[in-house]
Copies of this chain bind each other. A is one copy, B any other.
Amino acid sequence: MIKYPNGQTVSPHKSDIDYSRRGMSLENDINSSNNYYLETDKAVIHKKPTPITIVNVEYKSRATAKITEAYFQTPSTTDYNGVYRGRYLDFEAKETHSRTSMALSIIHPHQLRHLESCDRHGGISFLIVRFVAHDETYLVMASAFLAHLKNLEAKSVKYSWFQENGYLIPYNYSIPVDYLKVIDGIIDGGK
């Protein structure tokens, strides 16, 4: 069942939509999906490179530069953004092995602030969360997630909250995480 923002639920044909696990990491699955969207000219959504502080570079020749000392930075934005149907899309993807909840520690506070800003400026901001043990990948709108956090004392968000407030993302062979199907429902629902 896909829950759309207008409260309507849709039962897709089993033959069309599948939610079963494929064993790949969420990042790989999203990258494959984005490549498919790009190749079929459906959307332009990319993963941002990992931010790195470069300390030392060796220039062996004019053409080749070898980075010999660098460090990972804390990301100040989310990993993914792009354009679809004229809309700005921005999201972060996380997977958890817990059966019961997603620890908030896996999302940086400035990533949440970034999602909130993008939402305020008219973008479509969301999280993609995979519960590996349940073999389910949910899309949750940043606005709903952030509203939930405001009244939350726990340091994690329950699996049941995702079931109630998230949209289960369908799987298909070409598009392992077909999140634009959910986004279509959100845009058509009036967001």
Q: Does A148 contact B (CB under 8 A)?
A: no
A85 and B44 contact, Cβ closer than 8 Å, known pairs A52-B52, A66-B69, A68-B68: no
Closest CB-CB distance, A81 to chain B, in whole Å?
6
A121 touches B50 (CB 8 A): no
Q: How many residues of A contact B (CB 8 A)?
A: 39
Cβ–Cβ contact B118 & A83, under 8 A? yes
| Contact in complex: A123, B83 (CB < 8 Å) | yes
Instruction: Mark the stretch among A71-79, A101-109, A139-147 that contacts chain B.
Output: A71-79
* Extra contacts besides A38-B117, A44-B114 (17): CB < 8 Å: A41-B117, A44-B117, A44-B118, A46-B76, A49-B51, A52-B70, A64-B71, A65-B71, A65-B72, A66-B69, A66-B70, A66-B71, A67-B67, A68-B68, A68-B69, A82-B88, A83-B90
For this complex, 26 residue pairs linking A to B, each with C-beta atoms less than 8 Å apart, are A38-B117, A41-B120, A43-B121, A44-B114, A44-B121, A44-B123, A46-B76, A46-B77, A48-B48, A49-B49, A49-B50, A49-B51, A50-B52, A52-B52, A65-B71, A66-B70, A66-B71, A67-B67, A67-B69, A67-B70, A67-B71, A81-B81, A81-B82, A82-B88, A86-B88, A88-B123
Residues on A lying within 8 angstroms of B by beta carbon are 38, 41, 43-44, 46, 48-52, 54, 64-73, 76-77, 81-88, 90, 114, 117-118, 120-123
